[in-house]
Amino acid sequence: MMDHSDQTNEKPVKKTAMSNAEKQKRYRDRQKERGLQEMRGYMSPEAKHCYKLISEQTNWSDSVILSNAVRLTYAAYKNGQIGLLNSWLKNNKL
């Protein structure tokens, strides 16, 4: 025969589900703690075309493409090549 004296009438504590907004905020907070920064913006049709080609050829994520774009732009700036690159983009209608 089983002894039921250890059982209580207490119900197990149920965790409340987080809302989508709470999950997103927690994710963004964790990314910031890792030293990452979110960037937002809109791409021109020319940039979208370039993005599509880069994405197809490299299989990079949006984050990698954006990070590399910023780093390469900075490298061009530091090496005095921004004018040259902008001319190339204009000449190639990109």
Residue 7 confidence class, pLDDT cut points 50, 70, 90: low
Smallest CA-to-CA distance from 72 within 56, 57, 59, 89 is with 89
pTM over 0.85: no
Q: What percent of the chain has pLDDT over 90?
A: 71
Please report the pLDDT score of residue 6 as a whole number. Answer: 55
Indicate whether 90 belongs to any domain: yes
In a domain, 81, yes or no: yes
d(CA 51, CA 16): 40
Is 4 within the bounds of a domain?
no
Asked if residue 77 is part of any domain, the answer here is yes
Question: pLDDT by residue (tens digit) across 41-54?
Answer: 999 999 999 999 99
Counted domains in the chain: 1
CA distance 69 to 14: 46
